[in-house]
Amino acid sequence: MPINRERIEEWSNGYWLLRFYQDFMFKLYFKTEIVGMEKLPPGAAFIFAPNHQNTLIDALAMLTLKHGWQPVFLARADIFKKSAISKILTFLKILPVYRIRDGYENLSLNDRIFQKTMDVIRHGNGLVILPEGSHVGFKRLRPLKKGIARIVLQTENAADGSLNIHIVPVGLDYSNYVKYRSKLLIRIGEPFPVKKYLDLYRQNKALAYNALTEELAERLKNEMIHIEDKANYDDYLFLTHIFPMFYIKKNNLSPTQNQAFEISKRLISKLDGLKDFKSSTFNAIVQLTKDLRNLILKYRITSESLPANAGIAVNLFWMIPLFIILTPFAIFGFINHFVPIMFPYWLSKRFKDVQFHSSIRHTVSLLLLPIAYTIQPVIVGLIFNSLRIALLYLFAMPVTAIMLYHWRKLYYKIIAVTRIAVLAQQHPSELKRINNLYYMLIDEIKSIYQDG
């Protein structure tokens, strides 16, 4: 039975309800900060083009941009092969795009898809295309596929330039791809009009595709963390973790994700320039970075703990009692969320690609949490034959879940502080060495960061 996509551009109440719930849960999973929405000009049709590092999560991140909008996504056609899956994807406002590998005879099906994209754009919906084509778990933009250029130019050309399509580069930057309550920064770049390439498209399609793709790539690099140096990637990444924290605190800057991003972008640019023009200084910084990374890895100290101050051990006097007090509430919270927590976690571990883990955990939890919050209070109410107890239990579930989260967070803080305290007691010279390397590295970075 064919799947009806004829009304995919129209408002869907069912989709809205699911999206509202999804957005709420998504922002619980990721601390999301959005900047640049004011760049979107009125009266334009938008095709959003984010970088692609974290599978389905990247697409879900785009849903958080605006309340009340229902963007349509384009995805590769091979995931639509099964009828049931195809129906679900269509409900989720995802359209297939056919490639040569899907069969040459299927390429003609793209004609209807392109026509439908025109309907979507005319209807005022945003269109989302991930131009890298596939995901990868590192902070570097890969060569873009030509598909986005073909789609937007063919669509704008078919409307003789009247759609006023603008491509919006979107940078997605995760502090951690999997960890619950990690940070996500969404940066909206400066949109650029497609129709400026129409004349070239009508003369030479290949040249127009290349020109548009190159401009999009450069604009995307401006909105994301792009580390070109593959050999020293881990060192660059480490420096973007420790230096923004230091710089923001030292200069009393607002500790926003975007502030840290801007500092990291400038730092990467400075390091790249140093590598080209002062290689000896660059190599010295890289070596300091490697030495520090190796030491904190050896003693299992986190980069967030730097500089490693042995005096923070005094915090254990309030951390441990608080941990003990929270423990019974955390246990209660874990027991009552055992299935929504552990089943998605277990299922995600069956995927070797780590970038799938947050997608699995998030989407499966979306399904399991409403079931748990419906069935478990009913069971408790029946056991005690009391509606009041059932309602109290329902209220206690999210409260103890919050306590469980903070209990777990406190546990890792205690571990981090304890490791520093033990290192200070057993190997004080090593702790001193770690801090010396840290301050030497910070001084070197400050000198190049402030230069010019």
**CA–CA dist 175, 184 (Å, integer):** 6
Nearest residue to 232 (alpha-carbon basis) of 289, 295, 300: 289
Query: Do 268 and 236 form a contact (C-beta atoms < 8 A)?
Result: yes
The predicted pLDDT at position 452 comes to 60
Give pLDDT tens digits for 91-106. Answer: 888 888 777 676 766 7
Between 138 and 5, the higher pLDDT residue: 138
Ranges for all domains in the chain classified under CATH 3.40.1130.10: 13-222
Instruction: Look at residue 5 and give its three-state secondary structure.
Output: coil
Nearest residue to 163 (alpha-carbon basis) of 40, 43, 42: 43
Q: What type of residue is 190?
A: E
Burial of 204 (0-12, 13-18, 19+ CB in 10 A): exposed
Tokens at residue 170, please?
């979107």
Residue found under tokens 């290192």? 423
Nearest residue to 72 (alpha-carbon basis) of 140, 134, 121, 131: 121
pLDDT tier for residue 4 given thresholds of 50, 70 and 90: low
Query: Do 193 and 166 form a contact (C-beta atoms < 8 A)?
Result: yes
**CA–CA dist 75, 324 (Å, integer):** 49
Query: Do 437 and 288 form a contact (C-beta atoms < 8 A)?
Result: yes
Give pLDDT tens digits for 145-160. Answer: 988 998 899 889 988 9
The predicted pLDDT at position 104 comes to 64
Give pLDDT tens digits for 106-118. Answer: 777 777 787 788 8
Alpha helices (runs of H) in 279-386, residue ranges in sequence order:
279-298, 316-336, 338-348, 357-384
Q: Which of 2-6, 245-249, 341-345 has the lowest mean pLDDT?
A: 2-6
DSSP structure class, residue 186: E
Give pLDDT tens digits for 360-393. Answer: 999 999 999 999 999 999 999 999 999 999 999 9
Detail the DSSP E strand segments found in 77-176. Answer: 94-97, 127-128, 165-174
Give the CB-side neighbour count of residue 206, counting CA atoms within 13 A: 0
Tokens at residue 75, please?
């995805």
**CA–CA dist 216, 414 (Å, integer):** 45
As its CATH architecture, domain 13-222 has: 3-Layer(aba) Sandwich (3.40)
Helix 428-449 to helix 257-277 angle (10° resolution) is 80
Query: Do 272 and 177 form a contact (C-beta atoms < 8 A)?
Result: no
Nearest residue to 39 (alpha-carbon basis) of 164, 169, 133: 169
Give pLDDT tens digits for 177-224. Answer: 999 999 999 999 999 999 999 999 999 999 999 999 999 999 999 999
Calculated CA dihedral for residues 54, 57, 60, 61, nearest 10 degrees: -60
